[in-house]
Amino acid sequence: MRKVSQMVGVSTATVSRALKNPEMVLPETRDKVLKAVEALGYRPNILAKNFSSGKTQTVVVIVTDLTNPFFSRIVQGVEEEAQKLGYSVLLGDTNDDINRERVYAEMVLNNRADGLIQLDHLFPFADKDKEIAKTVPMVSVCDAIDGDYAYPYITIDNFAASRDVAKHLISLGHTKIGAIAGRDDSHVTSDRLGGLMRVMQEHSIPFNQDWFMRGGYTKQCGKESMEKLLALADRPTAVYCFSDEIAIGAIKAIKNHGLRIPEDISIVGFDNVDICEYMDPSLTTVDQPAVDMGRRAMQILFQLINGEPIQSITEYKPYTLLVRDSTGPVPN
């Protein structure tokens, strides 16, 4: 700024006003300052600016598994919106390790980041930090955070989406419906299972616990769980997978057994990751607007960081059941 002021022949205070509050400076002076700034390649001292404002202009996004394309799309939305708002994104891939989550969460407590977006249902702070953590700007995407914490979250109506899946399979004649879920301690898992079971009860269709598998939201989980289902003497004719990653693994197992989809067994996924449309067969799945969910999470976090009120704790985004080739009539 001193070089700019010397070049133009004005004080550093005038240079500062020309950059921060240009309406307070005569147009001819402002133009001279801007030309000098361009000529000298001047850049504002972001660290000094952030120090004086008490903000880092950085947010942390905690992801349990970045290899999952659904999470990647959420992060894409966060990143796009963060750039518009002048923020940088620090990504923490925790591999489902709560201790690693807490390392990233503590960055907000230690004023190394202004806020946190959590792509999990776990409370990422240690017990000793619970009280101070209540003041931390934090938004959860997909799932509510465990415990008595009034943090906002962005989601879809998983219960209603699963009802739609169940109605679709029943309309095709399926009464022997199995499911492969993620972790059994997740709100998402319980909501998706609840929607499925409710519709089956409404149609007087029994839910066979032997056809319900738990594990993780991974291809490997889908493959191993599907192999267990195929090994049963009495097996389901349709399987509802609680993520597309699970469904991809399940399809692999079915094909390994020489069975056809959907002629021998129908498969439904959840998330609508990009590959679903191009699989053989293309995957029937529930579309979640992941990029929009990420954008909205960043918008709400920005409001929290700046002390602005938010309209509601829970915000539901629209979903769509996309019927493709992996579901068909019940086998004769």
Q: Give dist(CA 203, CA 167) in Å, integer.
A: 9
pLDDT given for residue 44 in this prediction: 54
The confidence score (pLDDT) of residue 157 equals: 97
CA distances (Å), origin 74, targets 38, 59, 61, 121, 292: 37, 14, 10, 15, 8
How far is Cα 205 from Cα 191, in angstroms, rounded to an integer? Answer: 19
- By the 10 Å C-beta count (0-12 exposed, 13-18 middle, 19+ buried), 111 is classed as exposed
Alpha-carbon gap, residue 248 to 221, rounded angstroms: 10
At residue 43, the pLDDT reads 59
Portions of the chain given CATH number 1.10.260.40: 2-44
Order of all β-strands in the sheet with 58-63 = 88-93, 58-63, 115-118, 138-141, 153-155, 314-316
What are the phi and psi torsion angles at 58 (to 5°)? -130, 140
**How far apart are the C-alpha atoms of 13 and 97, rounded to whole Å?**
50
Residues 6+ positions from 237 with CB-CB distance below 8 Å: 174, 175, 176, 177, 265, 266, 330, 331
Task: Give the number of C-alpha atoms closer than 13 A to the C-alpha of residue 129, restricted to the C-beta side.
Answer: 15
Instruction: Check: CB of residue 245 under 8 Å from CB of residue 219.
Output: yes
Determine the CATH number of domain 158-287: 3.40.50.2300
What phi and psi, each to the nearest 5 degrees, are found at residue 134?
Answer: -65, -20
> CA distances (Å), 252 to each of 7, 184, 248, in order?
69, 23, 6
Strand, coil or helix: what is 29? Answer: helix
User: Measured over all CA atoms, what is the biggest interatomic distance in the chain, rounded to whole angstroms?
Assistant: 90
* Predicted pLDDT of residue 54: 61
Class (C level, CATH) for 54-156+290-316 = alpha beta
Residue 51 confidence (pLDDT) = 45
Q: And the tokens for 179? A: 């499911």
Please list the pLDDT of the chain residue by residue as tens digits (332 residues).
Answer: 788 888 889 988 888 888 777 778 888 888 888 888 888 776 554 444 444 456 889 999 999 888 899 999 999 999 999 999 999 999 999 988 889 999 999 899 888 899 999 998 888 988 888 888 888 999 999 888 887 788 999 999 999 999 999 999 999 999 999 999 987 668 899 999 999 999 999 999 999 999 999 988 899 999 999 999 999 999 999 999 999 999 999 999 999 999 999 999 999 999 999 999 999 999 999 999 999 999 999 999 999 999 998 888 899 999 999 999 999 999 98
- 279: closest CA among 242, 256, 259, 249? 249
pLDDT on residue 148: 74
CATH code for the part of the protein at 2-44: 1.10.260.40
Cβ atoms of 4 and 29 closer than 8 Å:
no
Q: For the chain, where do the domains classified as CATH 3.40.50.2300 start and end?
A: 54-156+290-316, 158-287
What are residue 287's phi and psi, to 5 degrees? -85, 120
